[in-house]
Chain A
Amino acid sequence: MAIIINLDVMLAKRKMSLSELSEKVNITMANLSILKTNKAKAIRFSTLESICEVLECQPGDLLEFKDE
């Protein structure tokens, strides 16, 4: 069981680069990269909120539950 973050999918849909998102949400590239590669252990509501705001999406569009 795992929670997958579909950040790369949303970025592709919005035709936005990771560095662009990094600038807009004020999160370092390193942290966004951790998030994108599913290495993150947790995500703050504030982070999720700012990503959703910039990408104009719902948390459900970013997060997905996968039964391994």
Chain B
Amino acid sequence: MKTNQVLETAEIFFEFLKGFTYLGGIILVTIIIYSFFSPTTFDGFYKKEANTISYNNTNINSQKSNHEEFKINQKNIHLLNKLTPFSRSFLLVESIFYLTISILILRQLNNFVKSVKDYHSFHSKNSKYFTNIGKYISYLFIFEIIAAFVPIVIKTEENKYHSIFSFDISPFIYYIAIFLLSYTISQVFKEGERLKIESELTI
């Protein structure tokens, strides 16, 4: 059956994504922890905007580019080893938090796909899975608000501390949208479950 093939693909995809997140998480956390002990090792790693870490093998500070996009992005790029221990610790907490939430959401999605695959589409658990996703998104939302008030502190070459507050409204809009969507889907499954019970108890 075609539907089952799609569901099987979805299940494999979510499993793969979960494994990839675990692996990425371990690497990311290791890099951040290692940067405490050996700041010069990861010269190429930089923190971009509020919650992403990327790698660039060229030295960003010395790079001169006419590329407009890079010029705009450069304002939000901070070398990982220039961050103060506090900022790096917060980055570590932030990364662990995001990865945990990602894994939890992927687990819920995987369980949901498994349940649909086993023909238990309107099981009470499915409604719960989406409620949980909504709950996790609300935690992300709260954490993002807190993170917006925590500055990125950079130690400049003159041994001065420079605080930067970064705030981006777009993730909040996505979080609200996903939160509402999850709760709506959860209600759909709740209603489906009610109808299923009613149909089962119709003699």
Contacts and interface: CB of A to CB of B under 8 A. Distances in A.
Contacts, number: 23
Interface residues of B, number: 5
B202 interface: yes
A5 B197 CA distance: 19
Interface string A49-62: 00000000000000
Interface residues of A, number: 12
Interface in A2-42: 27, 31-32, 34-35, 39-42
A32 B201 CA distance: 11
Nearest to B198: A41
B203 interface: yes
Interface in B172-199: 197-198
A32 B159 CA distance: 84
Most buried by B among A27, A32, A41, A47: A41
Contacts of A27: 203
Nearest to A42: B202
A42 B201 CA distance: 7
A43 interface: yes
A6 B154 CA distance: 79
A66 interface: no
Contacts of A34: 201, 203
Most buried by A among B197, B201, B202, B203: B203
A40 B202 CA distance: 6
A6 to B, nearest CB: 15
Contacts of A35: 203
B202 A39 contact: no
Most buried by A among B197, B198, B202: B202
Contacts of B202: 40-44
A4 B197 CA distance: 19
A42 B197 CA distance: 11
Contacts of A44: 202-203
A28 to B, nearest CB: 9
B59 to A, nearest CB: 70
Contacts of B197: 41
Interface of A: 27, 31-32, 34-35, 39-44, 47
Interface of B: 197-198, 201-203
9 contacts: A27-B203, A32-B203, A34-B203, A40-B201, A41-B197, A41-B202, A42-B198, A42-B203, A47-B203
